[in-house]
Structures are given as structure tokens and as C-alpha cells.
Amino acid sequence: MTNILADSDEENVQSLKTCFVIMPIADADGYEQGHFKRVYDYIIREACKRAGFKAIRADDVLQTNVIVVDIIKQILDCDMAICDLSGRNPNVLYELGIRQAFDKPVTLIKDNLTQRIFDISVLRDVEYSSSLRIDTVERDITAIEKSLKATYENRDSGDLNSLMKFVGIKPATEKVSEIAHDTLVILEAINNISTKVNKLEQINNNYIVKDFDLIRGQNVSHKIHGLGKITKILENGGCIVHFTRDNELVIVEQNSLVPTNRLLTKIIKNKEALINDTVEIIE
């Protein structure tokens, strides 16, 4: 599965239509660490690519040190948007509200664990599997790709997936105004602080001492899925693992895996330390 544009396509990147991705960025309760990053890397980006769009996410914008105001501009100015409602994230609903207020085309998606939100239940959405099993990922990519194309092609028709049209409210209009220099400085400072805090939180959450390399065919252990064997190493720090317990292929982060030989060594060392402590107590 390809998750980034191939080298032969790089020359055409600038000509691609843009699709802003509204979705949870940080880890969420009820989901494995790094879950939504994998959803973005292996489902959403690929679906956007196949539909003819370049995917842009909020953290992609922040990494270029652009002020937060420009994120709102991306929400409004991108040719298309896709919104993942999984986990009912408040920030996601806020950004969706901005896009909807201006009656801009947006495709809604959610995972199978998330119940429909009553206030926007009149809008169509595409459901994908939260398991990220390899046999469901391709199916979900195709379904989202079709919805992206259909929504964009019908953007000027009355069939737009829009709350504004449903309730008969006139959409908001953009008003061009200059932002004072002092305000820009303050916003930039806030953005820099927010970026640094996010990086510190990410380091704290993802800090793992890793002095080994994973290879195809290696036996590994995962804290949720148990024992398995790596079938393919993917780009962006992921890999496909066949887990024995559930007999299924799942995409997981490489940092979430530990080779079973290292796990056994750790268990042995812990037992040796326990024995030594016990001997010292007896003596």
C-alpha cells in the first residue's frame, strides 16, 4: 500500500487540488496510542490521493510555523475537506462548523465505534473499520475515495452535504480584513508556545528506548494484540503484523512492538533480580 506520492508524481504535486483533513490529532481515550496517525497515513491520505487531492492536516500546517489563523484559512480555502468524527472530538466539530457555515464541500467519515452525532445526523457519512485490518483498509479507502469525488463534483448542486442548505440558512461570506502587526506577533508567540508544548507531550508519550531494528518475518509482541509476526515494514514508521490470537493482519506502529527475544531476555533478567533480592533477604 502506498501512502505518499511516488517520485514520478512529485512534479504534479502543485497542480493537485487540496483537501483539508479535519480529525483528532492527539491520542484519544479508547484508542491505541498513535491510532489516528495511522488512520491518516494509511486510509485518509491514500483516499485523497486516489481522488486527486493533496491531503493537508493541521499539524502539517503547524510544522511550517504558520500562525493559527492560517489553519482557519486552510479550512475555508481548500478545494475540499474531509472530517473524521471518530471519538466526537470537540475541536473537530468546531472546525467542521466553520466549514459548514460557509457552505464549503466536505466529506464526513467516522469509525464503527463512534455513534452518529444527533445534531448532524441528517448529513451522510462513510464508516470505516477502527481495527485497521489489512483486508478492511483497502475497502475503506475505496469508499472514502468515491465519496470525496462525488461530494466535490456535486459542490455546486443542491445535493451538497450541507447543513446550511438543509435548514435553508444563507451561508456566511468571507470578509477580507487586515490583522494588526501587534496581533500577528501575539498570535505567532501563542502558536510557538503551543507547538513546543505539543512536541514535549509527544516526546513524553512516545519516549521509548529502542536499540533494535525490526525486520520482515520477525516475531514480536504487542501490548494489545499479543504475539505476532511482521509481514511487511511500511513507510512512516508503521508495519503490518499477523497476530496469532485473532489470526488477522493489522497495521501498527513500529514503536509499539517488542521482539519476543528481547521480551524473554527482560523477563529472565527480572526473574534473576527477584531471585537475587530473595537470596539477600534470606542471608
The verdict on 156 and 193 lying in the same domain is no
Asked whether residue 212 is assigned to any structural domain, the reply reads no
Q: Summarize pLDDT for 42-72 with one digit per residue, the tens.
A: 999 999 999 999 999 988 765 554 556 778 8
pTM (2 d.p.)? 0.66
The verdict on 229 and 138 lying in the same domain is no
232 touches 257 (CB < 8 A): no
The verdict on 61 and 138 lying in the same domain is yes
Q: pLDDT below 50 — which residues of the chain?
A: 1-11, 13, 65, 205-209, 266-268, 270-272, 274-275, 277-283
The verdict on 273 and 247 lying in the same domain is yes
pLDDT, position 205: 47
Exposed/middle/buried for residue 276 (C-beta within 10 Å: 0-12, 13-18, 19+):
exposed
Asked whether residue 213 is assigned to any structural domain, the reply reads no
pLDDT, position 202: 54
Asked whether residue 270 is assigned to any structural domain, the reply reads yes
Q: Calculate the dihedral angle through the C-alpha atoms of 255, 222, 235, 92, rounding to the nearest 10 degrees.
A: -80
Q: Summarize pLDDT for 103-148 with one digit per residue, the tens.
A: 899 999 999 999 988 888 888 999 999 999 999 999 999 999 999 9
The verdict on 57 and 96 lying in the same domain is yes
Asked whether residue 2 is assigned to any structural domain, the reply reads no
The verdict on 251 and 265 lying in the same domain is yes
The verdict on 140 and 185 lying in the same domain is no
The verdict on 116 and 243 lying in the same domain is no
* Cα separations in angstroms, 55 against 3, 105, 181: 11, 15, 31
The verdict on 127 and 78 lying in the same domain is yes
How far is residue 173's CA from residue 1's CA, in Å, rounded to a whole number? 40
The verdict on 24 and 135 lying in the same domain is yes
The verdict on 171 and 56 lying in the same domain is yes
CATH number where 226 lies:
2.30.30
126 touches 100 (CB < 8 A): no
How far is residue 1's CA from residue 4's CA, in Å, rounded to a whole number? 10
Strand, coil or helix: 242 = strand
The residue count of the chain comes to 283
Asked whether residue 236 is assigned to any structural domain, the reply reads yes
The verdict on 193 and 242 lying in the same domain is no
160 touches 154 (CB < 8 A): yes
pLDDT, position 274: 47
Asked whether residue 90 is assigned to any structural domain, the reply reads yes
Asked whether residue 1 is assigned to any structural domain, the reply reads no
251 touches 132 (CB < 8 A): yes
Number of structural domains found in the chain: 3
Closest C-alpha to 115, from 88, 83, 147: 88
Partners of 81 in the β-ladder = 20, 106
Q: Which residue segment(s) compose the domain that 223 sits in?
A: 219-282
DSSP state of 179: P
